[in-house]
Amino acid sequence: MNVIETFITQYTKEYDYFYELAKKVAGICETLLQRNAIHAIVTFRAKRPDSLKEKLIKRNESKNYQSIDQIYKDIADLAGVRIATYFPGDRGEIARLIEAEFVTEKAKYFPNLENATPFNYSYKRRFAGYDAIHYRVRIKDVRLEDSKKRFSQSQVEIQIASALMHAWAEVEHDLAYKPKVGSLSEEEHRILDELNGMVLSGEIALERLQKAFNQRISKIQHSFNNHFELAALIREKVKMDLSYNTYMGRADILFRFLQKVNMDKPEDIFKYIEVASNIKQTRTIVRKMVDLILEDYPQYYNSYIEAKYEVYGITAHLAEESLDFTQLNNAKLYEYVELWGELQAAVKKLYEAVEGKKCEDGQKADIYECRLIKMLQLLDISDEQVDEARYLYNLRNTVLFGAEQPDEDILINGIKSLKKFISAMKENFDE
């Protein structure tokens, strides 16, 4: 038995492992797209042993495989995931989400025009061909339960392209690279090239369609129908500045939150989108907007927590996340955010009294932590208490934006500290 046959025998026994690995990565990708309100179709597969054998026999002509390990290192797509976007313009945002979520070992961008080859030597294509991004990734170990840690050891190939481009690539690949009878004629190559031109024209039309959709959403007067419409408005206004690694964030939670507080019309959030787009910090647009809304309405903290857990209950299963939903009724959790809202209001009031001016929108990039620390320092509080205040601020962020909530003992201690700081703020304001 030669090395290829030995490898195929071993791979057949491991097929279920690679299938489950691809399924796991696809679930994570679906969750990312859902949360960030990006329209796309996610599919996955493990390479079939018969198809893999054909590929290895062809590659062996140049690779001359000497060992099973050599084959494993050479074939990166034993487990594969395909993300077919509705709109080509979303490809860059999806790529950045993939890079942030997974351990990225290699990225390949198509077309590589410098190394591009014609369909055959008698016909040189006129159009660029396949336009996509391929990643080789591994799941981060911390994302996996102990029983599934093994999935972090193997690579998965993720392909990102428009649905139109994926369809053309399937036809081109099967006909040009896997012909059943002979080689394709020059006329067949010309037709494939012509179809590629149509696909590229179709992608331009889809980009125009996406822009028209976003512009229409920005003019509606009624409530958003779903978080995709909300995200479309945000993308239209923010333009997703790549230089600041701008991510959408949990648009699904923001949508539910806005519904709860009756702020789910475009006119209700225009100013928050505008201010958030000018805050050049590496936080998601959604998080910036939530911070700004809670700055104006501290009484909405509990509503955001409720929205977060309602949405988690719906979407967490896609990525097989293990969340403790008993926290939803944890009185200490709600008490903590209520007290933080009270402290926030006291700090803001004291800030305006000391500075002699109101907090303008442009200053809201420094909301919460910086203002809180400044007020504590003015009150001549010890460095240890200033550090404690920073800890409380970080705890607040964990409660609001973290996937898992702090233990009840941590919340109880935090509540005690918040009460102490609130009392100090009120006393000094009275003075």
Residue extents of the structural domains in the chain: 3-207, 267-430
pLDDT of residue 172: 85
Kindly tell me if the per-residue pLDDT of 15 is higher than 50: yes
pLDDT band at 327 (very low <50, low <70, confident <90, very high): very low
Calculate mean pLDDT across residues 65-72.
Answer: 89
In CATH, the architecture of 3-207 is: 2-Layer Sandwich (3.30)
pLDDT of residue 58: 86
Dist. CA 414–CA 397, nearest whole Å: 13
pLDDT of residue 243: 47
19-41 in b/e form (b: 16+ CB < 10 A) is bbbbbbbbbbbbbbbbbbbbebe
**Among 103-117, 127-141, 226-240, 244-258, which is the least confidently predicted range?**
103-117
422 touches 342 (CB < 8 A): yes
Calculate mean pLDDT across residues 88-105.
Answer: 92
* Phi, psi dihedral angles at 183 (to 5 degrees): -105, 160
Sheet with 103-110: list strands edge to edge. 40-46, 79-85, 156-162, 132-138, 103-110
Q: Which segment, 328-342, 373-387, 416-430, is predicted with the most confidence on average?
A: 328-342
134 touches 110 (CB < 8 A): yes
pLDDT of residue 374: 67
Give percent above pLDDT 70 in the chain: 83
| Residue 148 tokens, joined | 């599934």
Calculate mean pLDDT across residues 152-179.
Answer: 87
pLDDT of residue 132: 93
Counting Cα atoms < 13 Å in the Cβ hemisphere of 51 gives 11
pLDDT band at 122 (very low <50, low <70, confident <90, very high): low
pLDDT of residue 315: 57
Kindly tell me if the per-residue pLDDT of 65 is higher than 50: yes
Kindly tell me if the per-residue pLDDT of 400 is higher than 70: yes
pLDDT of residue 326: 45
pLDDT of residue 115: 45
Dist. CA 334–CA 317, nearest whole Å: 25
C-alpha dist (Å) from residue 152 to 142, 161, 408 = 9, 25, 31
Calculate mean pLDDT across residues 254-262.
Answer: 97
pLDDT band at 118 (very low <50, low <70, confident <90, very high): very low
Dist. CA 359–CA 9, nearest whole Å: 69
pLDDT of residue 80: 95
As a whole number, the mean pLDDT across the chain is 84
Kindly tell me if the per-residue pLDDT of 78 is higher than 50: yes
Q: What angle do CA 262, 265, 267 make, to 5 degrees?
A: 115
pLDDT of residue 140: 93
Kindly tell me if the per-residue pLDDT of 257 is higher than 80: yes
- Could you report the per-residue pLDDT of 355-386, keeping only the tens digit for each? 665 555 444 444 555 666 666 666 666 778 77
35 touches 250 (CB < 8 A): yes
pLDDT band at 182 (very low <50, low <70, confident <90, very high): low
**Among 119-128, 262-271, 388-397, which is the least confidently predicted range?**
119-128
418 touches 340 (CB < 8 A): yes
Listed residue (60, 104, 96) closest to 249, CA to CA: 96
**pTM of the full predicted structure?**
0.81
pLDDT of residue 273: 92
